Amino acid sequence: MKLFIPGPTQVHPDILQQMARPAIGHRTPECAALWGAARAGLRKLMHTENEVLMLTAPASAMMEAAIRNLVSGPSLHVVNGAFSKRWRDIALANGKDAHTLDIPWGEGVSAAGLRAALEERVYDVVTIVHNETSTGTVTPLEPLKAVMQDFPCTLLCVDTVSSMAGSPVLVDDWGIDVCLFGLQKCLALPAGMAMASVSARAMERAAEVPNRGWLLDYLQLAKGNVKEQSPTTPSTAHLYALVAQLKRIEEEGLENRWQRHADMAKATRAWATSHGWVPFPAEGNRSDTVSCIARGEGPEFVGALAALKEQGILVSNGYGDLKNKTFRIGHMGEHNMNDLTNLFTRFDAALNAEVQA
């Protein structure tokens, strides 16, 4: 199967080989060296000096961790798609006083919109999904920094699951207190680990929040890091693969990697527009890692998606209510322009075959 879905993504064969290495004891110096190398590489990738916590778990575990560690009063959740809604739902499931700032799908929260919401009450956190995978919508975070500085009691928590390592995320420059992601999107590894950087002030907050639980407790995870250990048994297969992949990313050059994704996004939009389809997100909110395309005046595409699937090529239909109205091409991770051009050729052939049938 060729995966052009917005995660999980294609894994490089060399990296798959790393996953096949024999297990090692998780209290050995070898494992500590791996743990330390992964954390150092991640700090560089994320552009942060903050503590980096790691856990063998899906990315959603770190969404829940942010809620359990940082929220005792009201929380604010910017909701502009399925994953940002999930974060609000996680807060509700944990019995928190969760408030929603609804933004139309396909748009991101503006500085003025965020300011108005934060003026209503003192929130412990605001949660934002940087790159809404359900709609291919990116929210520029840099313009929000000045707003956050005027509300110093509110911590900024950002999900970068489908943008980290695919498009620019500058954690410290942008003032992100908690920045979380997993492995199976732009990092192009099999799913299985969750990561988060946590600022010093967020760590201080966690120390004051009761009932943080055990598995996701920031303090316990940070304590393990002192010895370069995980409190629980980590997947050493993922650690080997992660360290090797971070090295591959460094060899490509992070900025080259960002540019490769931006170029693929541009080519995808040009190809879609040439068919009469339109990018779903607003101008200025179009993701570099996943393109969400709406039908517009273009041809019906549902049959082509099914035909591609029969050929072993997966492209995603729209999410939820957007099903059959939009489709999504994930051009993240290891894909290059050549792969994408081949996809367009096959997609066009499937459309033409349908016209002739």
| Distance in Å, CB of 320 to ligand PLP, minimum | 14
∠ CA 106-147-217, rounded to 5°: 85
Cβ closest to ligand PLP, residue 7 vs residue 106: 7
**For ligand PLP, which stretch binds (CB under 6 A), given 58-66, 117-125, 230-238, 276-284?**
58-66
191 binds ligand PLP (CB under 6 A): yes
Provide the minimum distance between the beta carbon of 58 and ligand PLP in the complex, in angstroms, as a whole number. Answer: 3
Whether 55 contacts 61, CB under 8 Å: yes
Cβ of residue 203: shortest distance to ligand PLP, in angstroms?
23
Residue from 38, 51, 78, 83 in contact with ligand PLP (CB under 6 A): 83
| 60 is a contact residue toward ligand PLP (CB under 6 A) | yes
- Closest CB to ligand PLP among residues 41, 330: 330
Cα separation, 300 vs 241, whole angstroms: 40
Cα distances (angstroms) measured from residue 193 to each of 52, 58, 206: 13, 6, 22
Q: Which is nearer to ligand PLP, 186 or 209 (CB)?
A: 186
Q: How many CB atoms lie within 10 A of CB 336?
A: 11
Give me the 146-185 binding string for ligand PLP, x by CB under 6 A, dash otherwise: -------------x-xx-------------------x--x
Q: Rounded to the nearest whole angstrom, what is the least distance from the CB of residue 288 to ligand PLP in the complex?
A: 14
Q: Token pair 């075959």 is at which residue? A: 353
State the chain's maximal CA–CA distance in angstroms: 67
Shortest Cβ 200–ligand PLP spacing (Å): 25
Residues numbered 247 to 266 that lie near ligand PLP (CB under 6 A) are none
- Least Cα distance to 187 among 45, 36, 352 occurs for 45
129 lies in the binding site for ligand PLP (CB under 6 A): yes
Question: Under the criterion CB under 6 A, does residue 186 sit at the interface with ligand PLP?
Answer: no
CB of 197 within 8 A of CB of 50? yes
Report the residue number, 265 or 350, with the smaller CB distance to ligand PLP: 265
Q: Which stretch binds ligand PLP (CB under 6 A): 55-63, 104-112, 197-205, 248-256?
A: 55-63
Q: Does 298 bind ligand PLP (CB under 6 A)?
A: no
Give the Cα separation of 210 and 69 in Å (integer): 8
**Please, what is the minimum distance in Å from the beta carbon of residue 174 to ligand PLP?**
17
The reply to whether 58 sits near ligand PLP by the rule CB under 6 A is: yes
Q: Specify the residue, 90 or 155, whose C-beta has the smaller distance to ligand PLP.
A: 90
**Binds ligand PLP (CB under 6 A): choice among 5, 7, 124, 319:** 7
Contact (Cβ atoms closer than 8 angstroms) between residue 4 and residue 13 = no
Q: How far is the CB of 109 from ligand PLP (least distance, A)?
A: 15
Task: State which residue, 103 or 304, has the beta carbon closest to ligand PLP.
Answer: 103
Would you say 58 or 296 has its CB closer to ligand PLP? 58
Total residues in contact with ligand PLP, by rule CB under 6 A = 13
Which residue from 248, 215, 208 is spatially nearest to 232, judged by alpha carbons?
215
Instruction: Give the residue with the Cβ less far from ligand PLP, 109 or 350.
Output: 109
Smallest gap from residue 110 Cβ to ligand PLP (A): 20
**Binding residues vs ligand PLP (CB under 6 A):** 7, 58-60, 83, 129, 133, 159, 161-162, 182, 185, 191
